[in-house]
Amino acid sequence: MKTWSVIVLSGGTNKRFGSDKSQALLNGITLLDHVLSFIPADIKTVIVGKDVFEQPSLGGPVAGIARGLQEVNTEYVAIAAVDMPYSSSLFPQLLEAIKNDVAMPVDSQGFKQPLCGIYRRDALLVALTKLGDVHGQSMRALCDLLIIDQVSVDAAALVDIDTPEDLITAHELN
């Protein structure tokens, strides 16, 4: 049986959205609660931006992942972005598919989504060490250091809410 935990990235500047995305309502439920609703209750979940904070703050998703990793010690770590409310529903499928360093969803256009994936904790730690200072590092730079298992998924699970208009579109999808 694979042991896993979850890091939810909930910090950030929210510049394009204009307010705290984690508390935005989609069908009467906060985006954070949507993400959490797909995670089994017995799985340790760390919310970066609420439970723990990276130092210095606003270092980006790679810095958030590095901070969250300090709180978990399972073999596998799921990464979820708070602005992707349905992405955590893919975790069972990704956990089943992982063979290398990370199982990452890919939509029908071939777009890989690194902020919804199941990562081997040890591989993440090695990659983060190779990056050096994680503040401001890109997810692309991190992923370039990992062997990715691409998993085809329904694009609806990868809805990404970056702007108020994206939230309106997400409401219309349901």
Q: Quickly tell me which residue has 């394009």 as its tokens.
A: 16
Count of Cβ atoms closer than 10 Å to residue 118 Cβ? 27
Amino acid identity, position 168: I
Per-residue model confidence (pLDDT) at position 21: 87
Q: What is the pLDDT along the chain (174 residues), one digit of tens a residue?
A: 889 999 999 977 667 776 778 888 999 999 999 999 999 999 999 999 999 998 888 899 999 999 999 999 999 999 999 999 999 999 999 999 999 999 999 988 888 999 999 999 999 999 999 999 999 999 999 999 999 999 999 888 999 998 888 888 888 776
Domain range annotation of the chain: 4-173
Determine the straight-line distance between the first and last CA of the chain, rounded to whole angstroms. 34
Sign of the four-CA dihedral 163, 149, 86, 54:
negative
- Structure-block tokens of residue 45: 């979940």
CATH 3.90.550.10, domain 4-173, yes or no: yes
Check residue 171 and report its DSSP letter: H
Per-residue model confidence (pLDDT) at position 102: 98
Those residues whose C-beta lies under 8 Å from the C-beta of residue 33, and which sit 6 or more positions away, are: none
- Structure-block tokens of residue 48: 């970066």
Task: Enumerate the H helices of 27-143 as residue ranges.
Answer: 31-37, 61-69, 91-97, 121-131, 139-143
Per-residue model confidence (pLDDT) at position 13: 62
pTM above 0.85, yes or no: yes
